[in-house]
């Protein structure tokens, strides 16, 4: 792709989702330019984000379900061993951070960890492969990494936020939750300040969850794109670019795992806070 476009076009092309929605001329279809995608407004769908994330989620569910069905107390096979290792890791994380009893939290944490990890993992696929393939098939854009789309990360964060609100109300009652927001840290005379602080605190949870993941992956993707730009240069640049891409990919393995882990851990911590009675 690189030789056919300017650098700016190349970068923009890589950052554009495949969006399906109502085109300016009134028909429904894929946006073929960034402006068209922009004009679709809220009632549009990023087919690539949703498609890739659903496929990856199904991959996760398929393998873990397979292991779960075959799970016995006997000697575990390869897949079962691997799955059990992850499950135990997640379970110990949950047991370490979550003090209340809730059957939802551990499966939620497992789903987040593996799903986010798999979505992040797509960042390691060489960035021109899938968009190149898509272009060859006549699809204008294709962004492979769902977590570089804020829709995906905010979607996850909103899911977590809804659970946080649900359990806050359930565990503390409406009055308890309202009191927690209004009566601390400054006591009842500082209510406006309390509301402001606690409100920000509450809203910051989903936003920080979503933006942390999005920012890390977006930046990582951006660096891959910039490195890929070097491949349109001379031999020296190509070699440097190759080395850099390899080095960044190795480093990125750490980042994608870490971000998945952080998302999971923060979810557990937020839900734990939702279950805690403040005094």
Active site residues: 208, 212, 216
Binding to another protein (CB under 8 A) within 73-102 occurs at 73-74, 76, 80, 83-84, 87-88, 91
- Give the count of alpha carbons within 13 A of 25, CB side only: 5
Residue 254 binds another protein (CB under 8 A)? no
Nearer to another protein, 73 or 236 (CB): 73
Rounded-to-integer distance, Cα 192 and Cα 184, Å: 10
Q: Which of 10, 14, 52, 67 is in the footprint of another protein by CB under 8 A?
A: 67
Residue 167 binds another protein (CB under 8 A)? no
CB of 239 to another protein, least distance (A): 33
Rounded-to-integer distance, Cα 188 and Cα 75, Å: 59
Rounded-to-integer distance, Cα 217 and Cα 114, Å: 16
Q: Which of 104, 196, 200, 207 is in the footprint of another protein by CB under 8 A?
A: 104
CB of 47 to another protein, least distance (A): 9
Type and span of the H or E element at 252: helix 235-275
DSSP 161-189: HHHHHHHHHHHHHHHHHHHHHHSTTT-GG
CA distances (Å), origin 139, targets 40, 226, 234, 247: 18, 23, 30, 31
Rounded-to-integer distance, Cα 88 and Cα 150, Å: 30
Stretch touching another protein by CB under 8 A, among 35-43, 121-129, 181-189, 221-229: 35-43
Q: Which of 156, 213, 264, 266 is in the footprint of another protein by CB under 8 A?
A: 156
Type and span of the H or E element at 243: helix 235-275
Residues that bind another protein (CB under 8 A): 15, 17, 19, 21, 37-38, 40-46, 49-50, 53-54, 57, 60-61, 64-65, 67-69, 71-74, 76, 80, 83-84, 87-88, 91, 103-104, 106-108, 110-111, 115, 146, 149-152, 154-156, 158-159, 162
């Amino acid at each position: 792709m690189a030789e056919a476009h300017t650098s700016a076009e190349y970068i923009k092309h890589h950052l554009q989702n495949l969006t399906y929605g109502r085109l300016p001329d009134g028909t429904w279809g894929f946006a073929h330019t960034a402006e068209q995608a922009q004009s679709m407004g809220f009632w549009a769908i990023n087919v690539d984000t949703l498609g890739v994330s659903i496929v990856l989620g199904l991959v996760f569910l398929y393998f873990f379900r397979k292991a779960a069905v075959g799970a016995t107390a006997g000697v575990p096979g390869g897949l079962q061993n691997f799955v059990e290792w992850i499950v135990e890791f997640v379970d110990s994380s949950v047991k370490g951070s979550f003090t209340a009893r809730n059957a939802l939290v551990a499966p939620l944490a497992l789903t987040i960890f593996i799903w986010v990890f798999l979505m992040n993992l797509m960042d390691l696929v060489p960035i021109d492969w899938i968009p190149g393939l898509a272009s060859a098939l006549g699809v204008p854009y294709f962004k492979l990494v769902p977590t570089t789309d804020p829709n995906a990360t905010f979607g996850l964060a909103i899911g977590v936020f809804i659970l946080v609100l649900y359990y806050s109300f359930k565990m503390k009652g409406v009055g308890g939750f309202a009191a927690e927001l209004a009566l601390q840290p400054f006591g009842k005379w500082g209510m406006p300040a309390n509301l402001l602080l606690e409100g920000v605190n509450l809203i910051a949870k989903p936003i920080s969850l979503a933006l942390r993941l999005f920012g890390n992956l977006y930046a990582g993707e951006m660096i891959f794109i910039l490195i890929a730009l070097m491949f349109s240069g001379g031999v020296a640049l190509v070699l440097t670019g190759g080395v850099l891409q390899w080095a960044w990919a190795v480093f990125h393995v750490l980042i994608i795992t870490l971000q998945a882990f952080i998302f999971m851990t923060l979810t557990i911590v937020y839900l734990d806070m939702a279950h805690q009675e403040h005094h």
